[in-house]
């Protein structure tokens, strides 16, 4: 633990280092190992990210339905797979779901162009992306970030399609916007951490609800972000992590996300 003399700027720098740590692509083979969610925070693994390899594009996730007993990484190669992952709660946390949906929208275009060997006009491609967006929105109708992210992607597409002349430019247009959504969420998490930590005193006891750590976002978390920053600044804290039924997301996903003293 850092000294209490460490300033807020230094603490934020430490947290940014954790948040910006390189994501593991396939990850170590930890299938079946009882590793717990503390592993996630300790290595700075991202909950969702975009990747391109020799097999094509993929939306990559940690399968949160298996935590904390098993850490498994998913590479989703089709928008239908992304939709299934959202629907089946393999990805959880409103911000993380929104980022996943944004990447899923992009993935739909990458898949279409690969299947058609780039032989498709922009109007047909636009209609396909819109259809994929509607599919993704239907997976969790009550998820606010999900609908917001998809609508933002579709609006960006409609407003800028007249400025591009090729499907390759179309791919870049969508990917840039999805990456921007992910970065904005990372920045928002850090800002929440900075503002919230200033309200936390040394020795405080804090209560979190549901999935609030890095697994719930593209960054360092929502309610846990101020706790991370305060803890790295040297404040001694006690966090009460309550459950969320029916899948106990507080107990399974938030608990163990840091070295802060916790009680379930």
**Model confidence pLDDT, tens digit, residues 168-181:** 999 999 999 999 99
Model pLDDT, residue 44: 61
Average pLDDT of 29-33? 32
Nearest CA to 12 out of 182, 244, 158, 230 is that of 230
The bridge status of strand 73-76 relative to strand 56-62 is antiparallel
Q: Would you report the helix, strand and coil content of the chain in percent, each value rounded to 5?
A: 50, 10, 35
- Whole-model pTM: value is 0.82
Render pLDDT for 217-252 as a digit per residue (tens, 0 to 9): 999 999 889 998 999 899 999 998 887 777 777 777
Count CB-CB contacts under 10 A for residue 91. Answer: 27
Contacts of 247 (CB under 8 A, 6+ apart): 89
- CATH 1.20.120.420, domain 21-188, yes or no: yes
Phi-psi region of 214 (alpha: psi -120 to 50; beta: other; left: phi over 0): alpha
Position of tokens 């911000």? Answer: 95
Domain map (residue ranges) of the chain: 21-188, 194-263
Q: Please determine, for residue 256, whether its predicted confidence score (pLDDT) is greater than 50.
A: yes
Average pLDDT of 158-176? 96
């Amino acid at each position: 633990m850092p000294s209490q003399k460490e300033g807020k700027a230094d603490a934020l720098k430490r947290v940014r280092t954790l948040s910006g740590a390189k994501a593991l692509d396939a990850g170590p083979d930890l299938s079946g190992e009882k590793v717990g969610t503390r592993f996630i925070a300790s290595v700075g693994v991202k909950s969702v990210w975009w990747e391109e390899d020799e097999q094509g594009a993929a939306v990559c996730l940690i399968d949160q339905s298996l935590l904390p007993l098993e850490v498994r990484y998913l590479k989703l190669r089709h928008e239908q797979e992304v939709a299934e992952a959202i629907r089946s709660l393999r990805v959880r946390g409103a911000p993380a779901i929104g980022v996943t949906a944004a990447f899923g929208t992009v993935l739909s275009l990458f898949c279409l162009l690969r299947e058609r060997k780039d032989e498709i006009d922009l109007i047909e491609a636009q209609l396909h992306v819109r259809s994929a967006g509607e599919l993704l929105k239907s997976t969790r109708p009550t998820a606010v970030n999900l609908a917001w992210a998809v609508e933002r992607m579709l609006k960006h597409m409609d407003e800028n399609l007249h400025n591009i002349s090729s499907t390759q430019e179309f791919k870049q247009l969508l990917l840039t916007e999805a990456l921007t959504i992910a970065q904005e969420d990372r920045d928002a998490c850090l800002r929440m951490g900075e503002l919230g930590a200033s309200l936390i005193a040394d020795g405080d006891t804090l209560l979190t609800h549901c999935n609030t750590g890095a697994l719930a976002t593209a960054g360092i978390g929502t309610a846990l972000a101020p706790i991370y920053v305060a803890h790295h600044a040297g404040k001694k804290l006690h966090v009460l992590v309550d459950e969320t039924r029916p899948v106990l997301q507080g107990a399974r996903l938030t608990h163990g996300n840091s070295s802060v003293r916790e009680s379930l």
